[in-house]
Chain A
Amino acid sequence: MTSTLSIKDLRVSVEGQLILKGLDLEVKQGEVHALMGPNGSGKSTLAYSLMGHPKYEVEGGEVWLKGQNILELTPDERARLGLFLAFQYPTVIPGVSLANFLRAAVNAIRGGEVNGNGKAQVGVPIAEFRKMLTEKMELLQMDKSFARRYLNDGFSGGEKKRAEILQMAMLEPEIAILDETDSGLDIDALRIVSEGVNALSGPHMGILVITHYQRILNYIQPDFVHVMINGRIVASGGAELAHELEAQGYDRYLKQVSEVSR
């Protein structure tokens, strides 16, 4: 059965201010969606709310995945259900190596958490895990030494983004949200990251690419493009919509919104 992330009338506030004002969107496994919008339109708020960051207050609406309203679940339960978020600004965690972190995450997702002495009770055998890690790191052209480094500690912007996609590759989510994954990447890094995403995408993964610019969509071909303005989706279409936005900008949509609110 195909999983669908189904967002219905989602309203979210941050520090008392309403940011998402009734957002509807469906992303099915196997589809690639692009969500585009100017700064401040609420794109990142959507990403964080879907993953369950405590700072974002859900005021109304529902988000369904595999028969569950995920707004009632903790972030780790959402992840275990098959949701993934590649962060725009990944957190630096001192003292936790990328490899140990990934092993804990892989075991958590595949059933069987890591217990007190660091040994997995159930989950992926260590040899299989290492093999998988080596393969995925090669795919993303990451040096082996990254596995031993502390999570995102001292990583450059591009390295952090690659590490995010590496996590996505290891966890094999059903629905992945890429929040401004293209920001801060030079053209080579953008190509490597995009190729990585393309290699992973397929009938088993639905992807929501959140971006300000059309640039990343030269590499990752979307099936659907949505325009987000002021907390709502104001237009949806095919890949051609992205090209139109690139040429004409968001002005037309911004005017519409201000006329409606008048």
Chain B
Amino acid sequence: MAQQSTIVKDPVIEAGVFTRHATLALSERLNEPEWMKEKRQVAWSIFEEMPMPTTSDEDWRRTDIRSLKWDQLQLSVDSNLSPVSKLAELPEHLRLALDEGLDASGRLALVNGQVVYHELAEGLSEQGVVFTDMASAVHEHPELVQQYFMTECVAPSEGKFPALNGALWQGGAFIYVPKGVEVKGPFQVVVALEGEGAAIFPHTLIIAERFAKVTCIEETVSSDGAGQALNNGIVEIVAGDGAQVRYAEVQRWGENVFNFNTKRAIHHPDSLVVWEMGQLGGRLTKTYIDSILRGNGSSAELNGVYFVGDKQHLDLDTLTHHIGLSTGGDLLLKGAARDSARAVFQGMIKIDPTGQQTNSYLKNENLLLSDHARSDSIPSLEIDANDVRASHGATVSRVDEEYIFYLQSRGISRNTAVRMIVEGFFSSVFDRMSEERVREKLAAAVSARIGD
């Protein structure tokens, strides 16, 4: 019998767009110090060695990424936007994403990884607050970046996509809030993808020291490109003792964007991190949101909505990992799928033997708006402590005909009735969102999607 060996070819390496050479060139172009160059090279080596996830991996069982054409992507597609010094000079869609007209502590616009606009409210620098883009932070705050960038939060070795981000990251926000400082208004960031085949690797790092308080709202947008485009992002949050961090994301990529994200918060004692999320766009999304509750008394909250249509595929993974004593988790995600879209939710509550007196809740509810839409909700529990309270719930249902009939009996048309019921379904999540501008934006986006 002839010996058979199968060499699984790596589609990224095959395509030859993202290479070690490109990684080096990027370091060169950004004039990076040796240590960051080194971090990129290490990440690239890890990337090369790791296999591309396939549907035989448990996490990826329901998400097949083979339709992504790696050879049609390009690194650093130049944007035809040059940097501006006034918010008013930005194109309208970026100004809208940055909530022009509302108070903010700072604003940052990134187009294809390049900074096109940056502002920071007066007085914050004096208090030691840093709000800038990641590449600038490498030069201006090397000690902080060296300490926190892909060290204790997200490591390149965790997966193919985090490794690729570690090697090719560009853009993303860097936020540092010193001990005891409370930043009042939110920092607002827009990450934009423009042009056919554009690929971006934003990397955001938020460090809140002891008892610091900060909110960051990020919105993602893209131009309608004919070809595929890629976003592969990382968000790292380090919440110090008693710190409170709110991170909101309004994801509205165009329907040609393949969207991969790893978002994680490391909790020190008594810290609180609140994730607020609206996932609306993208051709295919795979996003991890992890809360690592290491510190005693720390807690995590997530208020999320998603709405997919056409042929969109959305896959969300949450992890609430209780390590410290007396930690809390409260996750509520609601989603709707229409047309032939598919939504997948996998949520894990993991309680270590050290995680006594944990309170952890996870709830995922799904509404199907057509016969061809599909939704899978897979919550799970892994509990190794005996004095804990943990529960999860998952539902997938259709719009109740009795609800429709009741509204119709009052003269409301079937279409309007369905819209009201779907809006009502999401309202319990919106009610929990603390940032009004995020809530309003998401509610409007959801309404628009039901109507079109």
Q: Which residues in A have some Cβ–Cβ distance to B below 8 Å?
A: 51-54, 74-76, 78-80, 84-85, 87, 90-91, 93-96, 100-101, 104-105, 108-109, 113-114, 116-118, 150, 167, 171
A94 touches B424 (CB 8 A): yes
Return B3 CB to nearest CB of chain A, in Å. Answer: 63
- B residues near A104, Cβ cutoff 8 Å: 407, 410, 412, 416, 420
CB of B60 within 8 Å of the partner chain: no
A96 touches B406 (CB 8 A): no
A93 and B408 contact, Cβ closer than 8 Å, known pairs A76-B414, A104-B416: no
A171 touches B411 (CB 8 A): yes
A91 touches B402 (CB 8 A): yes
Return B303 CB to nearest CB of chain A, in Å. Answer: 14
B405 touches A53 (CB 8 A): yes
Tell me the bound Cα distance from A53 to B409 in angstroms.
9
CB of B448 within 8 Å of the partner chain: yes
Determine the interface band of chain B, counting residues with CB < 8 A from chain A.
20 to 34
Residues of chain B in range 95-147 having any CB-CB distance to chain A below 8 Å: none
Among A91, A113, A117, point to the contact of B416 (Cβ < 8 A): A113
B406 touches A95 (CB 8 A): no
The closest CB in chain B to the CB of A113 belongs to: B416
A113 touches B413 (CB 8 A): yes
- B residues near A116, Cβ cutoff 8 Å: 419, 447-448, 450-451
- A residues near B406, Cβ cutoff 8 Å: 87, 90-91, 93
A91 and B411 contact, Cβ closer than 8 Å, known pairs A113-B416, A117-B444: no
Return B335 CB to nearest CB of chain A, in Å. Answer: 15
22 chain-A/chain-B pairs, Cβ below 8 angstroms: A52-B405, A54-B401, A76-B411, A76-B414, A79-B409, A90-B406, A93-B403, A93-B421, A93-B424, A95-B421, A95-B424, A95-B425, A95-B426, A100-B420, A104-B412, A105-B412, A108-B411, A109-B411, A118-B447, A150-B424, A167-B410, A171-B410
User: DSSP class of A's interface residues: helix, strand, loop or mixed?
Assistant: mixed
Tell me the bound Cα distance from A54 to B404 in angstroms.
11
A105 touches B411 (CB 8 A): yes
Return B104 CB to nearest CB of chain A, in Å. Answer: 24
- A residues near B424, Cβ cutoff 8 Å: 93-96, 150
CB of B423 within 8 Å of the partner chain: yes
Tell me the bound Cα distance from A114 to B411 in angstroms.
12
- B residues near A96, Cβ cutoff 8 Å: 420-421, 423-424, 427
The closest CB in chain B to the CB of A90 belongs to: B406
CB of B428 within 8 Å of the partner chain: yes
- A residues near B428, Cβ cutoff 8 Å: 94-95
B411 touches A79 (CB 8 A): yes
Return A164 CB to nearest CB of chain B, in Å. Answer: 10
Central interface residue in A74, A84, A93, by most chain B CB within 10 Å: A93
The closest CB in chain B to the CB of A170 belongs to: B410
Tell me the bound Cα distance from A96 to B403 in angstroms.
11
Residues of chain B in range 419-452 having any CB-CB distance to chain A below 8 Å: 419-421, 423-428, 444, 447-448, 450-451
B408 touches A79 (CB 8 A): yes
Return B58 CB to nearest CB of chain A, in Å. Answer: 34
- B residues near A171, Cβ cutoff 8 Å: 410-411
Tell me the bound Cα distance from A95 to B426 in angstroms.
7
A94 touches B412 (CB 8 A): no
A101 touches B420 (CB 8 A): yes
**Other 6 A-B pairs with CB < 8 A, given A90-B406, A171-B411:** A76-B410, A80-B411, A91-B402, A95-B423, A104-B410, A105-B407
The closest CB in chain A to the CB of B410 belongs to: A105
A74 and B408 contact, Cβ closer than 8 Å, known pairs A108-B416, A113-B416: yes
